[in-house]
Amino acid sequence: FFFDCVIAMGNQSSDPICLDYNATTPICDEACQVMQEYLASQARHGNPSSGHAFGTSAKHDVESARRQVAMAVACDVKEVFFTSGGTEANNWAIIGAALQVREQDPSKTHVVTSAIEHPAVDAPCKYLRDELGFDVTFVPVDSTGVIDVEAFGSSLSDKTSLVTIMHANNETGSVQPIEQLVKITKTFHKDILFHTDAAQSIGKIPVGVDDLGVDLLSVCSHKFYGPKGVGALYVRQGVHLKRLMHGAGHERGQRPGTENVLLLLGMGAAIQATHERLAENAQHMQTCRDRICEVLRSELGVDNVHLNGPVDQRLPNTLNVSLRSPANGTWVRAAHILGAIGVPERRQVFASAGSACHASSVSISPVLLAMKVPEEQALAAVRLSTGKYLTMDDAVAAARIIVSAVVSAGISEEKHVGANAGCHSVDLLVDKVE
Ligand SMILES: Cc1ncc(COP(=O)(O)O)c(C=O)c1O
């Protein structure tokens, strides 16, 4: 998990620089425009379930958003079900699939996931295990955060009903070999369902349900410049899920509740825009990210910048690094950097830290723990994630601000002693878990 943090320093007059696009993204112009037009039009505020003209118009808006999502992930419109976001899509896919399969065949009581999932997958898996009597295997990852394919193969059993492995990791950007894992799964038994959480990959790398071979795929609007609180679940035709909510017949009887037309319009426009300019945006995000890394390396020294995550098999926008003080070669805790320079009067850079330490304990990100990153290095991990609105000038400015922060935090760190030295500041900076 990640904690929101603020890195501040530098030019007083300038706007903050956001290097936290994996946490969320601003709403893009295309989405803003359709949402504003919708809000401004009295004639479009009908209930999509109503038979009169207002209803028909709203229904048309809902179905046009469904077409846009279907086109972006290359599936049929009938396979797209709207949800309140990535968390609901994951819960429904995992709990709905596991319960449905076990009802048909009571021997199917095993689910496979990974050790690096977002809480929106990890928690429903633990709910299945702790409350509903399922066995869950958490497949380990290697030191770069990529699934151990051999361990994955041996985790499958005659009892397995479902595999859920994320497409790309939110902390390190590691991209999992989903196509390969699907092949292994379907060769073991063709009926095992495969779900992937694509919250972080859509808009950054190609995501096609048939290319990946998955049965279920979660979509999260606010990671690709759409509004928050809306998402979708792709459900391959022929796959049945237990309903989690009970009510009227919306979403073809599978997910009741009057559709949030405003947010669906925004998500539809955003996913279409992101899909149409995928290569261009990915190139821009990667160029900015790599430039940030170059500045950190050239100014702090190559040996003082350690990448947490794979070099190549990684989202184009994500840079998770642990930084050492060039003065004394010790890891500079993310909390120290943030605590030393969190002054809002100066130019700010928004980023995230993966681990935190409190008065009497340290809390290491489960993802870095699974990668067996040593404690001091994990406590130094800062996640920098670029996006389409970041300019190259700001990317370089942000990198220099971080360099100054590392240098000054490194100096102040020498004044502290003990394992949790200086950690008191993090509690002030941590306000929510992503
Ligand atoms: C990988 C991943 N899955 C799921 C989610 C949750 O999505 P939402 O915020 O739409 O519930 C997030 C958001 O942080 C995420 O990064």
Mean pLDDT by 10 residues, the chain (434 residues): 41 74 97 97 91 94 98 98 98 98 98 98 98 98 98 98 98 98 98 98 98 98 98 98 96 96 98 98 98 98 97 98 94 78 72 71 89 95 96 94 84 45 33 38
Angle formed by the axes of helices 261-276 and 53-73, nearest 10°: 30
Q: How far is the CA of 119 from the centre of ligand 1 (A)?
A: 8
User: In this structure, is residue 379 part of a structural domain?
Assistant: yes
Does residue 220 line the site of ligand 1, with CB under 6 A?
yes
Does residue 231 line the site of ligand 1, with CB under 6 A?
yes
User: In this structure, is residue 141 part of a structural domain?
Assistant: yes
Atom of ligand 1 lying closest to residue 230 CA: 10
**254, 276, 298: which is the final residue of a domain?**
276
Does residue 86 line the site of ligand 1, with CB under 6 A?
yes
Q: Give the 3-state DSSP-derived string for the chain, with helices as H, strands as E and coil as C.
A: CCEEEEEECCCCCCCCEECECCCCCCCCHHHHHHHHHHHHCHHHCCCCCCCCHHHHHHHHHHHHHHHHHHHHHCCCHHHEEEECCHHHHHHHHHHHHHHHHHHHCCCCCEEEEECCCCHHHHHHHHHHHHHHCCEEEEECECCCCCECHHHHHHHCCCCEEEEECCCECCCCCEECCHHHHHHHHHHHCCCCEEEEECCCCCCCCCCCHHHHCCCEEEEEHHHCCCCCCCEEEEECCCCCCCCCCCCCCHHHHCCCCCCCHHHHHHHHHHHHHHHHCHHHHHHHHHHHHHHHHHHHHHHHCHHHEEECCCCCCECCCEEEEEEECCCCCCECCHHHHHHHHCCCCCCEEEEEECCEECCCCEECCHHHHHCCCCHHHHHCEEEEECCCCCCHHHHHHHHHHHHHHHHHHHHHHCCCCCCCCCHHHHHHHCCCEC
pLDDT score at 155:
98
For a ligand 1 pocket test, name from 25, 223, 224, 230 the mutation site with the most ligand atoms within 8 angstroms of its C-beta: 223
User: In this structure, is residue 15 part of a structural domain?
Assistant: yes
Find the CATH number of the domain harbouring 9: 3.90.1150.10
The Cα angle at residue 27 between residues 312 and 77, in degrees rounded to 5: 80
Judgement on whether residues 98 and 185 belong to the same structural domain of the protein = yes
pLDDT score at 424:
32
- C-alpha torsion angle, residues 256, 259, 263, 267 (rounded to 10): 70
User: In this structure, is residue 153 part of a structural domain?
Assistant: yes
Number of domains in the chain: 2
User: In this structure, is residue 434 part of a structural domain?
Assistant: no
Does residue 199 line the site of ligand 1, with CB under 6 A?
yes
**276, 307, 332: which is the final residue of a domain?**
276
pLDDT score at 410:
56
Judgement on whether residues 199 and 283 belong to the same structural domain of the protein = no
Does residue 168 line the site of ligand 1, with CB under 6 A?
no
Does residue 85 line the site of ligand 1, with CB under 6 A?
yes
pLDDT score at 352:
87
**276, 294, 329: which is the final residue of a domain?**
276
Does residue 357 line the site of ligand 1, with CB under 6 A?
no
Judgement on whether residues 249 and 304 belong to the same structural domain of the protein = no
User: In this structure, is residue 315 part of a structural domain?
Assistant: yes
Does residue 170 line the site of ligand 1, with CB under 6 A?
yes
Find the CATH number of the domain harbouring 198: 3.40.640.10
pLDDT score at 357:
63
Catalytic hit among 125, 220, 357, 423? 357
Which residue, judged by its Cα, is nearest atom 5 of ligand 1?
A: 86
Judgement on whether residues 237 and 289 belong to the same structural domain of the protein = no
For a ligand 1 pocket test, name from 69, 91, 200, 263 the mutation site with the most ligand atoms within 8 angstroms of its C-beta: 200
Q: How far is the CA of 22 from the centre of ligand 1 (A)?
A: 9
Atom of ligand 1 lying closest to residue 22 CA: 16
Which residue, judged by its Cα, is nearest atom 16 of ligand 1?
A: 170
Q: How far is the CA of 87 from the centre of ligand 1 (A)?
A: 6
For a ligand 1 pocket test, name from 21, 84, 87, 432 the mutation site with the most ligand atoms within 8 angstroms of its C-beta: 87
Does residue 205 line the site of ligand 1, with CB under 6 A?
no
User: In this structure, is residue 158 part of a structural domain?
Assistant: yes
Q: How far is the CA of 382 from the centre of ligand 1 (A)?
A: 19
Judgement on whether residues 250 and 380 belong to the same structural domain of the protein = no
Residue type, 433: V
Reply yes or no on whether 357 is catalytic.
Answer: yes
Judgement on whether residues 188 and 316 belong to the same structural domain of the protein = no
pLDDT score at 418:
34
Judgement on whether residues 11 and 39 belong to the same structural domain of the protein = no
Judgement on whether residues 336 and 207 belong to the same structural domain of the protein = no
Q: Which residues span the domain enclosing 288?
A: 3-22+278-429
pLDDT score at 422:
34
* Terminal C-alpha separation, the chain: 6
pLDDT score at 44:
87
pLDDT score at 340:
56
Judgement on whether residues 253 and 111 belong to the same structural domain of the protein = yes
Judgement on whether residues 260 and 336 belong to the same structural domain of the protein = no
Judgement on whether residues 76 and 180 belong to the same structural domain of the protein = yes
Does residue 166 line the site of ligand 1, with CB under 6 A?
yes
Which residue, judged by its Cα, is nearest atom 13 of ligand 1?
A: 434
Judgement on whether residues 344 and 409 belong to the same structural domain of the protein = yes
For a ligand 1 pocket test, name from 170, 315, 433 the mutation site with the most ligand atoms within 8 angstroms of its C-beta: 170
Which residue, judged by its Cα, is nearest atom 14 of ligand 1?
A: 434
User: In this structure, is residue 425 part of a structural domain?
Assistant: yes
Q: How far is the CA of 302 from the centre of ligand 1 (A)?
A: 33
